[in-house]
Amino acid sequence: MNTNSMTKIIGLLGHPVKHSFSPQIHNYLCEKYKQNNIYCCFDVENKKLKSAVESIKTLDMIGCNVTIPHKVDIMRYIDKIDKNAGIIGAVNTIKNIDGKLIGFNTDGVGFVKSILEKGYTLKNKKVLIIGAGGACRSICVELASEGISYLEIRNRSIDKAEEIGKIVKTNFNLDVVYDTKPIDENDLNKIDILINTTPIGMESNLCPIDERLIPKGNLLVCDIVYKPHNTAFLNWAKKNNLDVVHGIDMLINQGLHAFYIWTGIKATKEDEEYIKDLYNKI
Ligand SMILES: NC(=O)c1ccc[n+]([C@@H]2O[C@H](COP(=O)([O-])OP(=O)(O)OC[C@H]3O[C@@H](n4cnc5c(N)ncnc54)[C@H](OP(=O)(O)O)[C@@H]3O)[C@@H](O)[C@H]2O)c1
């Protein structure tokens, strides 16, 4: 990668950041699309967050990604927040437009794209989602934006599911069903899409549902856990001849959408495949 006196910075603000895959995604895209930008990671502790955000303006940076633990706190330091990011209550991408910082959330958008690009539609679909954390919240908002007709959340504790339910009802007039009970075959038989948003299965062979369950109908099964690539949950789905969406697709698509926000350039399917290969080589 060549840099010169005109090179501008795109950053990642988080703590920690050393395991991030984002530099590989964005430096590849900057080089391919001849953007004179460089993507760098900045390990920023809570107490330095405000001054790190001010640096985006001071250094005339293109913008940044935001990761754990700053996605919520950073909202108080930026100038404007995109509608869905405001509803979600978290920002993972900032664009610097002439010294004004605009916040977006690309997690849910990336997830939705990973479903649409497999040829599925979301309008009027019935969705059951496991987990009720930050990722679930952004996915639920984007699914509701796409016009799904039924949303049910299963989480081990009810309060976060209830909170997401209120957000979705208030902003999209969609009633959300929530419960703490384990998923059974009746649950599976009434939905079109099943999504795991818990970390269960991350670097383990645990499954967020009972692997003895056998769904009757057709069902799209999505896991947002990306390590391992084939989680126990996705293996259960494949064993039952169900189509699956892998967590890596969301990870890459949320990055591609951030690149689009910064540059106006839409990366191609080939870019996505190239980045997936890069990821598999790590
Ligand atoms: N593919 C991607 O691009 C992408 C993007 C974001 C996140 N992720 C992955 O998604 C997962 C969740 O991330 P997040 O940011 O949403 O995390 P989070 O905010 O901590 O939420 C985790 C959710 O999972 C539930 N949970 C956690 N451990 C559980 C267990 N052992 N049994 C049952 N439920 C459990 C939690 O339940 P309680 O509410 O009861 O605590 C919570 O609702 C992580 O593995 C993360 O790496 C992937």
The CATH number given to whatever domain includes residue 194 is 3.40.50.720
- The better pLDDT of the pair 217, 110 is held by 110
Taking the C-alpha atoms of residue 67 and residue 136, their distance in angstroms, rounded to an integer, is 15
pLDDT more than 90, % of the chain: 96
The answer to whether the beta carbons of residues 124 and 149 sit under 8 Å apart is yes
Q: What is the pLDDT of residues 198-228, one digit of tens each?
A: 999 998 999 999 999 999 989 999 999 999 9
- 147 and 101 share a domain? no
Is 214 among the domain residues? yes
- 120 and 227 share a domain? yes
Taking the C-alpha atoms of residue 213 and residue 183, their distance in angstroms, rounded to an integer, is 9
Q: What is the pLDDT of residue 234?
A: 98
Which protein residue's CA is at the shortest distance from atom 47 of ligand 1? 225
Taking the C-alpha atoms of residue 141 and residue 88, their distance in angstroms, rounded to an integer, is 7
DSSP code for 194: E
Active site residue 71: yes
- 164-169 mean pLDDT: 97
Ligand 1: which residues within 6 Å by Cβ?
107, 131-136, 155-157, 160, 197-200, 202, 224-226, 247, 250-251, 254
- 147 and 43 share a domain? no
The residue whose CB lies within 8 Å of the most ligand 1 atoms, and thus the one to mutate among 156, 159, 253, is: 156
Spell out the residues 6+ positions from residue 186 whose beta carbon is closer than 8 angstroms to its own.
none
Q: What is the pLDDT of residue 203?
A: 82
Q: What is the pLDDT of residue 217?
A: 87
Taking the C-alpha atoms of residue 71 and residue 49, their distance in angstroms, rounded to an integer, is 11
Q: What is the pLDDT of residue 82?
A: 97
Domain residues for the domain of 15 are 8-105+249-280
Is 1 among the domain residues? no
- 121 and 84 share a domain? no
Q: How many CA atoms lie within 13 A of 10 on its CB side?
A: 28
- 119 and 224 share a domain? yes
The answer to whether the beta carbons of residues 81 and 101 sit under 8 Å apart is no
pLDDT band at 163 (very low <50, low <70, confident <90, very high): very high
Spell out the residues 6+ positions from residue 16 whose beta carbon is closer than 8 angstroms to its own.
43
Q: Residue 158: which H helix or E strand, with range?
A: helix 158-172
Which protein residue's CA is at the shortest distance from atom 22 of ligand 1? 133
Q: What is the pLDDT of residue 133?
A: 93
Q: What is the DSSP string of 197-220?
A: -SSTTTTS---SS-TT---SS--E
Taking the C-alpha atoms of residue 107 and residue 88, their distance in angstroms, rounded to an integer, is 10
The answer to whether the beta carbons of residues 221 and 188 sit under 8 Å apart is no
Report the candidate in 42, 50, 53, 48 with the shortest Cα–Cα distance to residue 13. 42
Q: How many domains in the chain?
A: 2
- 89 and 123 share a domain? no
What's the CA-to-centroid distance between 30 and ligand 1, angstroms?
A: 31
Selecting among 47, 48, 50, 71, the annotated active-site residue is 71
Which protein residue's CA is at the shortest distance from atom 38 of ligand 1? 157
- 128 and 88 share a domain? no
- 225 and 266 share a domain? no
- 44 and 169 share a domain? no
Number of neighbours of residue 153 by Cβ within 10 angstroms: 27
List the beta bridge partners of residue 9.
Answer: 38
- 80 and 181 share a domain? no
Whether the pLDDT of residue 1 is over 80: the answer is no
Whether the pLDDT of residue 282 is over 90: the answer is no
pLDDT band at 256 (very low <50, low <70, confident <90, very high): very high
If you average pLDDT over every residue of the chain, what do you get? Answer: 96
